[in-house]
Amino acid sequence: MTATGKYLRIGLGVAVIAALIIVPMNFNRYGLYILSQWAVMTIAAMGLNLTLGYAGQVSLAQGAFVGIGAYAAAIMTTQGGMPLIAALGVAIVLCFAIGWILGYPALRVQHHYLAFVTLAFSTLAFLVFRNEDWLTKGIYGISNIPRPNVMGFATNRPLPFYYFCLGSLGIVSLAMWWLIRSPWGRAFVALRENPVRALSLGIDTRRYTLMAFAIGSALGGVAGTLYAPLTQYIDPVPFNLSLSLDLLMMVIVGGSGFFFGPFLGAMIAVLLPEWLRFTQGYYLMLYAVAVMLLLIYSPTGILGILDRYLTERRTKAASALRAVAKSRLETAP
C-alpha cells in the first residue's frame, strides 16, 4: 500500500469518528436512540462476525447471548442495585462460558447442522427468559432499568448515553482490531479456510473453534448489557430467533469476514427500515427487496463490492504493467 493511501484511510477514519461525535449533538431524542441502537447492534454483529466471518462457524444463537447479557444487566442493576460494570463482567464471563460449551457441537457438526444446534439453543434461551418467572419476571419483563454513571457522569439523557454506547463500541473495535491481527486471528482464518491444513500446521483447531464461539458470544453479552439500559425495559420477545437472524443478516449484508462489515450491516438493518418508513405499510417489504437485490448483486455483502472493485483495479493496473513490459520485450532488438 502506498503512503498516500494509508494517510487517506487514516484521514477518512478520523473524519467518520469526528462525525459520529459531532453530528448527533443536535439530533432529537429519536435520532440519538436509533444511533445508540446502531452502536449496540454493531457490537453484537462484530461478535458474530468473529465466529462466522473469521472462524467460519454458522451460529443462530447470537440473539440469545444478547438476551443473556441484557437479563444479567437488568436483574443485577434493578434487583441487586449493582453498578452496570459488575453486570458487564458477569455477562462476559457467563456468555464466554456458555459460548464455549455451545462450541462443542461445532467440533462435530458443520454448516447448517451447526446452525440447527445453535437454533435449538436460541429457542431454549427464549424459553428460560419467559418461563423462569422467579428470575426474569417472565413475560411481564423487567422495567425501570437504570442508566449507568460513567466516571461520575450520569447518562440518563439521550446524548450522554449515546456517547457511552459509542465509547463502548470504540473500545470493542480496538480490541477486535488487535485480536484479528494477533496470531489468534490468523488461526481463526486458517480454521475457516482449511481446517485440515490448519491442523497439520500445528494449530489446535479444537481450542480455536471453541475460542471463536466463546469470544463471539461474549461480545453478544456486551451488546446485551448496553441494550437493557438503552430501552430501560426488557421482555423475552426481542431476544427470540428473529434477533439472531437479524444479526446474521447484518454480518452477511455488511460483508462477512471484513472488519467493517458489521458496522455497515448494522447500519442497513437499523437505519434503512427507519429511512423507508415514509412508505408506510410497504417499508418492510421494500427493505426485504433491497436486501435480496444486494445479496444477488454481491453475495459477499457491501464490502464485497468494494473489495471486488479494488481487486479489479489492481488486476487492471498489473495487466497494464505487464502489457508495457511485454511490448518492451517484443520491441527490444
In the list 86, 238, 271, 286, the residue contacting other proteins (rule: CB under 8 A) is 238
| Interaction pattern, residues 312-331, with other proteins; x per rule: CB under 8 A | --------------------
Helix (H) or strand (E) holding 6: helix 3-22
Three-state secondary structure call for residue 77: helix
Region binding other proteins by CB under 8 A among candidate stretches 90-98, 103-111, 225-233, 303-311? 225-233
Three-state secondary structure call for residue 142: strand
CB nearer other proteins, residue 163 or residue 287 = 287
Q: Total residues at the site for other proteins (CB under 8 A)?
A: 28
Region binding other proteins by CB under 8 A among candidate stretches 80-88, 190-198, 259-267, 276-284? 276-284
149 backbone dihedrals φ, ψ, rounded to 5°: -100, 125
Answer for the pair 198, 205: CB distance below 8 angstroms, yes or no: yes
CB nearer other proteins, residue 145 or residue 191 = 145
CB nearer other proteins, residue 183 or residue 281 = 281
- Separation between Cα atoms, residue 61 and residue 126, nearest integer Å: 10
Region binding other proteins by CB under 8 A among candidate stretches 42-50, 51-59, 252-260, 273-281? 273-281
CB nearer other proteins, residue 63 or residue 255 = 63
Instruction: Extract the C-alpha cell encoding 268.
Output: 442497513
In the list 109, 135, 237, 321, the residue contacting other proteins (rule: CB under 8 A) is 237
- Separation between Cα atoms, residue 152 and residue 234, nearest integer Å: 26
Binding flag, residue 231, other proteins (CB under 8 A): yes
Instruction: Extract the C-alpha cell encoding 11.
Output: 484521514
User: Which amino acid is residue 324, in one-letter code?
Assistant: V
Region binding other proteins by CB under 8 A among candidate stretches 24-32, 146-154, 194-202, 288-296? 24-32
Burial class of residue 107 (count of CB atoms within 10 Å of its CB; 0-12, 13-18, 19+): middle
Region binding other proteins by CB under 8 A among candidate stretches 23-31, 192-200, 207-215, 260-268? 23-31
CB nearer other proteins, residue 30 or residue 113 = 30
Residues 26-55 that bind other proteins (CB under 8 A): 28-30, 33-34, 37
| Residue 48 CA neighbour count, 13 Å, CB half | 37
- Separation between Cα atoms, residue 89 and residue 273, nearest integer Å: 33
Binding flag, residue 277, other proteins (CB under 8 A): yes
Binding flag, residue 283, other proteins (CB under 8 A): yes
Binding flag, residue 232, other proteins (CB under 8 A): yes
Answer for the pair 136, 71: CB distance below 8 angstroms, yes or no: yes
Binding flag, residue 284, other proteins (CB under 8 A): yes
The answer for residues whose C-beta is within 8 angstroms of residue 4's C-beta and 6 or more apart is: none
Burial class of residue 191 (count of CB atoms within 10 Å of its CB; 0-12, 13-18, 19+): buried
The residue among 207, 313, 227 whose CA lies nearest residue 37 is 227
Min separation Cβ 30 and other proteins, Å: 4
Min separation Cβ 138 and other proteins, Å: 7
Residues 103-142 that bind other proteins (CB under 8 A): 130-131, 138-141
The radius of gyration computed from the CA coordinates of the chain, to the nearest angstrom, equals: 22
Q: Interface with other proteins by CB under 8 A: which residues?
A: 28-30, 33-34, 37, 130-131, 138-141, 143, 227, 230-235, 237-238, 274, 277, 280-281, 283-284
